[in-house]
Structure 1
Amino acid sequence: MKRFFLFIWVKKLIIIPAVLAAAVLGFIFLRGDEEIEHQFVIVQKQDVIHEVDVTGRVRPAESVNLSFESSGRISRINISVGDKVSAGQTLVQLESADLSTQLQEAEAVVRVEQAKLNDLLSGAKIEEIKVQEVKVQNAKISLIDKKEALINSIRDAYTKSDDAVRNKTDQIFDNPRSLNPILKFHPTNSQYEIDLETERPNIENILNSWKIDIDAINITSDIVTNAQNVKSNLNQVKLYLDKVALAVNNASPSQSITQTTIDAWKTDTSTARTNINTAITNLATADESMRLALSTLSLEESNLNLKISGATLEEIVAQEASLDRAVASANNIRVKISKTILRSPISGIITAQNAKIGEIAVANSIVVSIISASKFEVETNIAEVDIADVKISDGAQITLDAYGNDVIFGARVISVDPAETIIEGVATYKVKMQFLEDDSRIKSGMTANITILTDKREGVNAVPQRAVIDRNGVKIIRTIQKDLSIKEVSVRTGLRGSDGNIEIIEGVNEGDRVITFFKE
């Protein structure tokens, strides 16, 4: 595949052709007295391939014993002893209805998360903004209603307090509104008399100041502070009435005060205390409703600003993470489903079949045995850093030292040992591959150079891995705009290729210029 370097200077253009995997470009431009040099690639559609390269040795072909990795009820058997089978053919299946249902649910979650991400990336529609504007307007109207309700509660609290003190309980005083009110009776406990005659002028001052505030309050006032002051006033009045109740309950009839009068005082005092308690409750309810309306308005205004300005990078990254989790969950279920299907890793002949429909297959118990139709296979040991990428049925290309690199033999992975083999202190795992075709040139003991194709993405956007910057878990790519300015964009990456390229799932488009080298 041919690639081209374009070195762009401020005053002249030099074009140098070269053979590369993508169009690589570099340029120098002036910024004040500084020269800044960049190299970049043009994003192209290409294949991203991940391979594992190892060496091995040709061995005589052996039989393969197959078992399930997990237990389950056998639902289908497709083979009998003596049948010829090909690589990848389904032999035995376990019940997987529950897993299939889970997969449908997981795929639905993926679609939902993808839709959410698409909404964040595309921004809010005009219709959505208009709907949110209506919500803000409704929240403003609701706040005004709640403020008016709180103002009414504040006024009602004053009215009840004024009535409780000046109408219902001032009966027990001579000159109640003066600086020296005199209690009309002498309670059994003389301290009650002292307290009431001392506190009545204080209550008068509270009511007078309160009346001034009530006359001035309106929808534009600082209602929150006013409500706090009223709450304090109500508590003062409540404590005063509690002492009035103690005093009248300790009153005794005399020549000037009858029991009927005392009973009337008690009734009026009880009514006054009930009214004040009601006012306290009503004020608290109205205040809470107003605060909730204020919070609702703030929230709706924030939502409107968010819809107008669009999603932040942090929100996009968080949603991408949610999508990745959903995809991983769906893939995990697919893996579980694949483990309910026993497929032949090689072409050969069935020599044993121990499965019966309806029986429970025990994990790691031999279900089917196959003898290879080929004469030879290749055995190798793969290091633990690469073994996670290798799976049964992966394709491979093999060259033998005896015939050089020009003679290539096709092969397929037929087994991966679950247990490690320690070689020179390093954990490795034995892997066997079967040649796809018999060839008389293949001899036992020959050294094999193996390239296993573990994954492949065809026709995807890809860039060199060095172009991707990991910044606090966020994948960033720097792109060059038409005016030569540099813009950082968040991307979602996919498969890492063995040739140094990496798949870009989202964030850049074909033809974009992506910086791979930044020198200042």
Structure 2
Amino acid sequence: MKFLLKKLWWLILIVIIVVIIVFASMSGQPKIEYSTAIVAKGTLEQTVDATGSVEAAVDIDLHFQTGGQLVENKVRVGDLVKRGDILAILNGSKNGFQKSQAAASLKQAEANLQKIIAGASPEDINVSQKTVDQAYIEFQNAERNLLIVQQKTASDLTASYESLVKAQADLDEARQSLGDTTNNQEQAVINYTNIALAKTAIALANSEVALGKAKEIKEDANSGYFGLADPQALNDESLSYTLAKNLVNQALNAAATTTIDSPAETILTTINAAVNAVSATHSEMSNLYQVLVNTYPSSNLTSSDISAYKTAVATQLSTVAADLSTLETARQNLLDARLDRVSNLNSYDASVVTSEQAVAIAEANYNSAAATRDSSLLAAENQVNSAKASWELTKAQLEFKTAPARSYDVKAYQAQMENLAAAYNLAAENYEDTMLKAPIDGLISKINFDPGENISATETAVSLINDNGYKITVDISETDITKIHVDNQVDITLDAYGEDVLFTGSVSEIEPAETVIQDVIYYRVTILFDKFDQDIKPGMTANVTIRTASKNNILFIPRRAIIDQDDKKIVRVLDGEKIHEVEVQTGLRADNGLIEIISGLEEGETIVTFIKEE
């Protein structure tokens, strides 16, 4: 009984501990708060806002939308033109061909539509089947060609990149070698300079000792007997002693103020002075020895005395000769080190320049390979798309011919015809780009090119004067300029009249050259008012809203709800108390922080824009 009671108490104690732990863990969990939004459907609009000032549109520079060879100037300087008049024409044979081709395809689609309504003959169906087969072969060939282009351009780009990496590595190595050589050569010059200065000090000190010994011998009480056998030698010795003494003193003075930090020319001058001084000392000791050789022994100056003097002079002569040789060697080593430094640094400098040139060439080759890849891939992809479109068109035509003329079949061919009409409109627009038209009424003031000359989209082809209109020039940042196109509609308000008075206009020109304002890149955009208004005055502050894009009946959410993760765009969907992540495809980045959702979400879903834990 006691055992059971004891066991019961232990069980109760364990339960209490478990309850305490669970309660503590629950009370310690962080409280999570969500900021959410609802996936909505509606209209999104993308605009670009800017501020400028009204200017008189006195002289407007007109540019083609594309480059090419000028075929004809339709006007002359001084001509009055109306808005929409053709001013100049580029060679548009290719664009014209594409327009004609698109027109032919459109006519063919119209004929096919009529044919399917009327019904097709067996012969016609057979021909269509062969057309489908041929179109499919061309589509397959285009896909194979795209694969070949992808492999070749990737290989070329990889090779050029590897060449660039190697050239950069060679440049780094050349710069490192230049740095190492500079340090080594500078250290060598320093070392040889220290040695030369040390040898200079030793040689000058020994020369002082030698001259002191010479003076001691010359001041002997019996020096009057010196050199009697050769008076000329005695005279030479006297002159050489004075010269050596002066040169040694001068060299000592120079050496006293010369250090390793002195200018290179000062150091060399000091060493040269020391060499001259030691050389003069050597000459003096040689002359003194010659004097002793030409000295006769006497009762006052014995042979032993003369021999002792000769021995002392010979000893000093040997020391000075050794110092002179050592000093000249140290000087030559210093000169050689300086020459080596210049020669080696010039050599390594040249190597660095060569490596830099190699990097520049490799970088240019890489950029060229990248540009070639992009253009080749674009051409090959366009070929695939064109071939696929042709194949699908022929398939649709065949299906249309073999099927009864049902209403939705007719609608499908009508849709195809509309697509071809859009393609024709695009081709016609491209063809229109080869014609420069007057954006406003005005007077031709300048024609810059003659027929036959090539002109780019950045060059002014024609200048137009308009005395009755106004324009607004605004600077658009590089992040927004890609959104803007010529003829974009513009809403305009003027500070002078407030936001309730709205004017309209359109983009007439986008300058291709950048403008740098406080280290930020902008592009200048010109806006023309749609109509002349006497209430508008030059200098008025204008606020413009350029309408760059608009989509209707689309899904959208706040941009802050999107998370970039592993090259994917993720949105967190709140389902009750649970959150799950969904990958989405996005489209138009609109105003007010909104973005189009192409796929991944449905209207009405709740998404998380922010999570806060407390």
Higher radius of gyration, 1 or 2: 2
Q: What is the TM-score normalised by the length of structure 1?
A: 0.44
Higher helix share: 2
Q: What is the TM-score normalised by the length of structure 2?
A: 0.37
